[in-house]
């Protein structure tokens, strides 16, 4: 004992301590008898992270799916359309990324039954080449779409057969050909013409087109080429698309990409993404609460051991490092398990949901996003466990000598720093989840506010019970209630875990309700699904009478004047085109104000009215309701996208060619239009008092109830006003509706999962403070308290804490839902009181049960045994 062995002093810095072998050895040894409890900690992490990973991978897959769905709305990666035939030779030199080329020739023609008794104007679409590439066409009988493109025949809409009184297998006459009706197209053929659909569609094989003799002299033929490209990133695809566009220098060629079609799906799916992001954050923060709670309880148990180490000469850094190592290792293990579970969750949801997913989603989660989510979750969990870990520094070595509580949790700089770090991390995760910076800020602020409010509520509660507890109250009640403020109380713990948990779960459920309601509204809604186009002013009365007779609502009507753009800001269309080709020839930079050609060339159908409709919002200027003086430029309101394409702002002038009459106009306002709603919307809106004299049509909008077709109405129209065409949107709307319905399913599955992951974490948190109560109860028992008395005291405490946490959590959740309904969804809050009540009573019940379970445990054992075990 006289000769001391050579020693190497332990490192002084935290970093050095963390990487020292002793730290890890000690962390390992220290965990030995705590495995059960530490597994609760690891499980909280695993629960939070599995939700995060599952939601993220699903979100990515679904996003992917939605992109594909948008492609299904177009049927191809690129659609090239022209009024003139597109030369075959161009397709010979297409880039190698083009995998397939489909073709379609579309025109209007009459179709009749072979006897010629009945005929009908239809939109003929002659297709070949496997179009559409991205949508499955539903037909009755099935599979006939493929047969059409190999053997010919004709496919029609159900309404047409109904109108003609024919069945599948009968013959129809189109031009010089008689074609056999192969079947009925129910859904899935994307519309190729931007403004087509004035008549029912019939489909024939492109090879049969020549034999009908119709395509030749028809001036209203559209030629389409649809391209399927090699899969690649959005950037790669758009590069290929612009290369291909370069092959068509001539005027009058239009290009369409899936992005443009996606507008039809509306904002709802963006909200789904946002919702999934919020849910992931909620799951993670719930996990964080579990982590912080479990770590807190663990360290409370280890406080004596830490004090001993300090007495034996261990530095605070070393002691801190031991538990940091423990938390870090467990966090890593929990994250690993959580990541695997999340990947499994992804697979299970994909396999279980099967058809209810919008599109095919691989059951294998994307590895990149899986690892990234797992890593992010790990960081956040470490952040959450730092808060209790920091308390180690406040354990006085003197705790070995007396059991007096040590220094209180201080608002020192390290704690504040960790809080700030946590807030930053939450913000970062919100951003990572796909929120805009503003939204992420709002979420972070909301969460921090809830946290502070609950901590404040806990303090207030302790003050109030201390203040108002009366000695006159029954002993057991008094004992239970005074547990709320006495030393070792669990008030803060309960409000911060149970209260925050209830807040998060209710809020995520509330957002889900808001979202589902909005999507259902978007999907079904009461918007129009059938337009009657080209109604002459003198036919309006008769046509609306017909609608009335068929018990169809006249939802909207608008006058429509066709016009073209003659010049913008004084510059002629021709001059613009000339300048562009000049600059291209010179290889100079593209004209900064290049306007898509079709924007300048196309025919605009404009209306006039004095106010906005429900799907429009003003984004700049004022909507003029008066025309202004006779010589002044006419104020016109432009749709903001068109204004962007034209490069005009409020105050700019343009000249419009209204069927030969030039009209000076000045842009007076810009409107944002929600095109997804299929209301009667227009690129240009004029004030009343200008266009009344111009040749015009009326546009009427009605709604065909679900399950009915427009066949009857169309037949009646034919007799009454043959020039009127019906644009039937029921099939495209049902596609969108189906997509949204599927998205709703996913939202429901995931919110269910969050609930399932969150509840056990909260129940675990309820039991975190049990040791102190067990000890006290055993003492009461040794002092002669009956089993019933102990149970009542515990029940009073736990039920009160549960009720108050639930109350505070629900109140905050109601606030959050009202705020979100108002600022995000622009809808009434639609609070689900039944659900709120269920959550409230559920929480009270759960925490009462926790109290009861505790008392059962105490009463089953002999007091002596427990006292010894707690020594």
Ligand X SMILES: Nc1ncnc2c1ncn2[C@@H]1O[C@H](COP(=O)(O)OP(=O)(O)O)[C@@H](O)[C@H]1O
User: Contact positions toward ligand X, by CB under 6 A?
Assistant: 402, 404
Q: Judging by DSSP bridges, how do beta strands 177-187 and 138-140 pair with one another? A: antiparallel
Residue at shortest CB range from ligand X: 404
| Residue from the set 126, 309, 484, 866 that interacts with other proteins by CB under 8 A | 309
Interatomic CA distance for residues 74 and 262, integer angstroms: 9
Least distance from other proteins to the Cβ atom of residue 10, Å? 5
| Residue (33 or 96) nearer to other proteins, CB | 33
* Residue 449 neighbours by CB distance under 10 Å: 13
Here the tokens at position 778 are 């055993």
Least distance from ligand X to the Cβ atom of residue 304, Å? 16
State the Cα angle at 335 between 330 and 338, rounded to 5°: 125
- When CB distances are held under 5 to 8 angstroms depending on the partner's kind, the choice from other proteins, ligand X, none that residue 356 binds is none
Least distance from other proteins to the Cβ atom of residue 774, Å? 16
Q: Are 718 and 199 in contact (CB under 8 A)?
A: no
Interatomic CA distance for residues 270 and 824, integer angstroms: 12
Interface segment toward other proteins; rule CB under 8 A; list 110-118, 312-320, 527-535, 634-642:
312-320
* Residue 544 neighbours by CB distance under 10 Å: 18
Least distance from other proteins to the Cβ atom of residue 39, Å? 15
| Residue (402 or 551) nearer to ligand X, CB | 402
Question: Does 32 help bind other proteins (rule: CB under 8 A)?
Answer: yes
Question: Does 324 help bind other proteins (rule: CB under 8 A)?
Answer: no
Question: Does 1 help bind other proteins (rule: CB under 8 A)?
Answer: yes
| Residue from the set 116, 246, 313, 487 that interacts with other proteins by CB under 8 A | 313
State the Cα angle at 281 between 275 and 283, rounded to 5°: 100
Least distance from other proteins to the Cβ atom of residue 25, Å? 8
- When CB distances are held under 5 to 8 angstroms depending on the partner's kind, the choice from ligand X, other proteins, none that residue 400 binds is other proteins
Question: Does 467 help bind other proteins (rule: CB under 8 A)?
Answer: no
Least distance from ligand X to the Cβ atom of residue 402, Å? 6
Least distance from other proteins to the Cβ atom of residue 863, Å? 18
Residue carrying the six token digits 């290009």? 255
Kindly state the greatest CA–CA separation across the chain. 123
Question: Does 488 help bind other proteins (rule: CB under 8 A)?
Answer: no
| Residue (233 or 402) nearer to ligand X, CB | 402
Binding mask 397-426 for other proteins (x = CB under 8 A): xx-xxx------------------------
Least distance from ligand X to the Cβ atom of residue 320, Å? 23
Residue carrying the six token digits 């020594």? 871
Q: What is the DSSP string of 290-341?
A: HHHHHHHHHHHHHHHHHHHHHHTT--HHHHHHHHHHHHHHHHHHHHHHHHHH
Q: What is the phi/psi pair of residue 588, to 5°?
A: -75, 175
Q: Judging by DSSP bridges, how do beta strands 177-187 and 154-156 pair with one another? A: parallel
- When CB distances are held under 5 to 8 angstroms depending on the partner's kind, the choice from other proteins, ligand X, none that residue 4 binds is other proteins
| Residue (12 or 545) nearer to other proteins, CB | 12
Question: Does 316 help bind other proteins (rule: CB under 8 A)?
Answer: yes
Interface segment toward other proteins; rule CB under 8 A; list 32-40, 224-232, 431-439, 741-749:
32-40
* CA distances to 77, 138, 234, 597 from 100, in Å: 10, 21, 19, 26
Question: Does 4 help bind other proteins (rule: CB under 8 A)?
Answer: yes
Interatomic CA distance for residues 801 and 766, integer angstroms: 10
Least distance from ligand X to the Cβ atom of residue 418, Å? 27
Q: Are 181 and 173 in contact (CB under 8 A)?
A: no
Least distance from other proteins to the Cβ atom of residue 305, Å? 5
Interface segment toward other proteins; rule CB under 8 A; list 310-318, 380-388, 445-453, 800-808:
310-318
Of the candidates 527, 528, 510, 556, the one whose C-alpha atom is nearest the C-alpha of residue 827 is 510
| Residue from the set 176, 210, 245, 311 that interacts with other proteins by CB under 8 A | 311
**Which residues does residue 559 pair with via DSSP β-bridges, in sequence order?**
698
| Residue (21 or 167) nearer to other proteins, CB | 21
Q: Are 172 and 114 in contact (CB under 8 A)?
A: yes
Question: Does 33 help bind other proteins (rule: CB under 8 A)?
Answer: yes
Q: What is the phi/psi pair of residue 116, to 5°?
A: 85, 5
| Residue (403 or 631) nearer to ligand X, CB | 403
Interatomic CA distance for residues 623 and 671, integer angstroms: 9
Interatomic CA distance for residues 243 and 226, integer angstroms: 15
Q: Any residues with CB less than 8 A from the CB of 324 and at least 6 apart, and which?
A: 18, 389
Question: Does 871 help bind other proteins (rule: CB under 8 A)?
Answer: yes
* CA distances to 464, 484, 804, 815, 844 from 460, in Å: 6, 11, 12, 20, 20
- When CB distances are held under 5 to 8 angstroms depending on the partner's kind, the choice from other proteins, ligand X, none that residue 313 binds is other proteins
Least distance from other proteins to the Cβ atom of residue 302, Å? 8
Interatomic CA distance for residues 774 and 670, integer angstroms: 69
Least distance from other proteins to the Cβ atom of residue 389, Å? 17
State the Cα angle at 50 between 48 and 54, rounded to 5°: 125
| Residue (229 or 310) nearer to other proteins, CB | 310
* Residue 760 neighbours by CB distance under 10 Å: 14
What is the Cβ-side half-sphere exposure of residue 746, based on CA atoms within 13 angstroms?
Answer: 36
Here the tokens at position 779 are 């003492």
- How many positions of this chain bind other proteins (CB under 8 A)? 40
Interatomic CA distance for residues 608 and 688, integer angstroms: 5
Q: Are 827 and 517 in contact (CB under 8 A)?
A: yes
Least distance from ligand X to the Cβ atom of residue 315, Å? 24
Least distance from other proteins to the Cβ atom of residue 11, Å? 9
Interatomic CA distance for residues 429 and 132, integer angstroms: 39
| Residue (210 or 401) nearer to ligand X, CB | 401
| Residue (125 or 298) nearer to other proteins, CB | 298
- When CB distances are held under 5 to 8 angstroms depending on the partner's kind, the choice from ligand X, other proteins, none that residue 579 binds is none
- When CB distances are held under 5 to 8 angstroms depending on the partner's kind, the choice from other proteins, ligand X, none that residue 838 binds is none
Binding mask 258-297 for other proteins (x = CB under 8 A): ----------------------------------------
Question: Does 12 help bind other proteins (rule: CB under 8 A)?
Answer: yes
Least distance from other proteins to the Cβ atom of residue 862, Å? 17
| Residue from the set 76, 182, 310, 701 that interacts with other proteins by CB under 8 A | 310
Site for other proteins, residues 189 to 228, rule: CB under 8 A: none
Interatomic CA distance for residues 694 and 697, integer angstroms: 10
| Residue (115 or 402) nearer to ligand X, CB | 402
Measured in residues, the chain has a length of 871
Interface segment toward other proteins; rule CB under 8 A; list 29-37, 245-253, 602-610, 647-655:
29-37
Question: Does 29 help bind other proteins (rule: CB under 8 A)?
Answer: yes
| Residue (35 or 404) nearer to ligand X, CB | 404
Q: In this structure, is the dihedral angle defined by the CA atoms of residues 176, 182, 184 and 189, taken in order, positive or negative?
A: negative
Q: Are 338 and 47 in contact (CB under 8 A)?
A: yes
Here the tokens at position 75 are 């049927």
Least distance from ligand X to the Cβ atom of residue 493, Å? 23
- When CB distances are held under 5 to 8 angstroms depending on the partner's kind, the choice from other proteins, ligand X, none that residue 12 binds is other proteins
Least distance from ligand X to the Cβ atom of residue 403, Å? 10
Interatomic CA distance for residues 541 and 803, integer angstroms: 64
Q: Under the rule (CB under 8 A), what is the footprint of other proteins? A: 1, 4-10, 12, 22, 25-26, 29-34, 304-305, 307-318, 396-398, 400-402, 869, 871
């Amino acid at each position: 004992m006289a000769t001391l062995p050579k020693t190497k002093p332990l490192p002084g810095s935290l970093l050095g301590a963390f990487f020292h072998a002793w730290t890890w050895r000690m962390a390992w040894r220290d965990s030995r008898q705590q495995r059960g409890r530490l597994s609760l900690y690891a499980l909280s992490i695993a629960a939070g992270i599995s939700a995060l990973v599952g939601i993220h991978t699903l979100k990515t897959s679904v996003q992917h799916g939605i992109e594909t769905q948008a492609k299904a709305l177009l049927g191809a990666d690129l659609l090239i359309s022209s009024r003139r035939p597109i030369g075959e030779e161009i397709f010979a030199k297409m880039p190698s990324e083009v995998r397939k080329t489909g073709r379609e020739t579309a025109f209007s023609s009459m179709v009749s039954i072979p006897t010629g008794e009945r005929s009908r104007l239809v939109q003929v679409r002659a297709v070949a080449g496997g179009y559409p590439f991205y949508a499955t066409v539903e037909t009755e009988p099935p599979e006939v779409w493929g047969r059409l493109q190999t053997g010919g025949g004709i496919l029609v809409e159900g309404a047409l057969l109904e109108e003609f009184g024919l069945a599948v297998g009968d013959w129809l006459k189109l031009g010089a050909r008689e074609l056999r009706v192969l079947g009925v197209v129910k859904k899935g053929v994307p519309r190729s013409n931007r403004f087509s659909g004035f008549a029912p569609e019939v489909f024939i094989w492109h090879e049969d087109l020549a034999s009908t003799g119709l395509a030749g002299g028809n001036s209203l033929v559209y030629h389409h080429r649809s391209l399927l490209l090699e899969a690649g990133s959005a950037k790669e695809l758009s590069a290929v698309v612009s290369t291909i566009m370069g092959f068509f220098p001539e005027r009058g060629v239009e290009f369409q990409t899936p992005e443009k079609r996606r507008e039809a799906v509306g904002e709802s799916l963006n909200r789904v993404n946002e919702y999934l992001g919020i849910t992931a954050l909620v799951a993670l923060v719930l996990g964080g609460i579990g982590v912080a709670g479990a770590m807190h309880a663990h360290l409370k148990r280890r406080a004596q051991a830490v004090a001993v180490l300090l007495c034996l000469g261990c530095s605070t850094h070393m002691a801190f490092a031991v538990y940091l190592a423990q938390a870090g290792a467990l966090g890593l293990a929990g994250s690993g398990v959580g990541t695997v579970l999340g990947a499994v969750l992804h697979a299970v949801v994909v396999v279980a949901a099967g058809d209810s997913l919008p599109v095919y989603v691989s059951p294998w989660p994307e590895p990149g996003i899986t690892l990234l989510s797992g890593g992010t979750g790990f960081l956040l969990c470490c952040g959450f466990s730092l808060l209790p870990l920091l308390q180690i520094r406040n354990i006085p070595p003197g705790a070995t000598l007396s059991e007096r509580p040590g220094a209180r949790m201080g608002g020192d700089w390290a704690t504040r720093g960790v809080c700030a770090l946590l807030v930053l991390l939450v913000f970062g995760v919100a951003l990572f989840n796909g929120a805009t910076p503003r939204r992420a800020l709002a979420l972070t602020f909301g969460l921090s506010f809830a946290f502070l409010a609950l901590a404040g509520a806990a303090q207030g509660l302790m003050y109030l019970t201390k203040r108002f507890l009366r000695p006159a109250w029954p002993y057991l009640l008094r004992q239970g209630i005074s547990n709320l403020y006495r030393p070792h109380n669990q008030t803060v713990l309960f409000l911060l875990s149970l209260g925050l948990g209830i807040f998060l779960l209710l809020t995520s459920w509330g957002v889900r309700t808001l979202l589902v309601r909005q999507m259902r509204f978007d999907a079904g809604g009461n918007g129009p699904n059938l337009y009657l186009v080209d109604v002459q002013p003198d036919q309006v009365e008769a046509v609306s009478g017909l609608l009335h007779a068929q018990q169809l609502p006249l939802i909207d009507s608008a006058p429509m004047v066709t016009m073209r753009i003659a010049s913008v800001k004084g510059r002629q269309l021709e001059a613009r085109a000339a300048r562009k080709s000049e600059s291209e020839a010179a290889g100079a930079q593209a004209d900064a104000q290049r306007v898509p050609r079709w924007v300048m060339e196309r025919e605009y159908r404009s209306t006039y009215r004095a106010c906005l409709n429900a799907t429009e919002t003003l984004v700049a200027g004022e909507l003029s309701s008066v025309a202004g003086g006779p010589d002044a430029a006419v104020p016109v309101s432009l749709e903001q996208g068109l204004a962007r394409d034209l490069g005009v702002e409020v105050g700019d002038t343009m000249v419009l060619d209204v069927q030969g009459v030039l009209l000076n106009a000045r842009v007076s306002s810009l409107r944002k239009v929600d095109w997804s709603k299929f209301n009667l919307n227009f690129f240009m809106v004029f004030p009343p008092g200008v266009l009344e004299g111009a040749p015009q049509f009326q546009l009427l909008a009605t709604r065909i109830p679900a399950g009915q077709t427009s066949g009857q109405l169309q037949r009646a129209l034919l007799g009454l006003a043959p020039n009127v065409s019906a644009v039937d949107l029921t099939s495209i709307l049902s596609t969108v509706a189906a997509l949204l319905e599927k998205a709703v399913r996913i939202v429901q599955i995931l919110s269910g999962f969050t609930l399932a992951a969150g509840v056990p974490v909260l129940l675990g948190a309820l039991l975190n403070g049990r040791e102190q109560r067990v000890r006290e109860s055993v003492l009461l028992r040794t002092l002669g308290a009956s089993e019933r008395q102990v149970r009542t005291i515990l029940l009073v405490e736990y039920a009160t804490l549960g009720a108050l946490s639930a109350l505070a959590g629900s109140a905050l959740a109601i606030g959050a839902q009202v705020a979100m309904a108002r600022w995000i969804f622009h809808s009434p809050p639609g609070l689900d009181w039944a659900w709120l009540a269920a959550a409230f009573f559920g929480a009270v019940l759960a925490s009462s049960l926790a109290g009861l379970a505790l008392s059962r445990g105490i009463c089953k054992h002999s007091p002596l045994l427990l006292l010894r075990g707690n020594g």
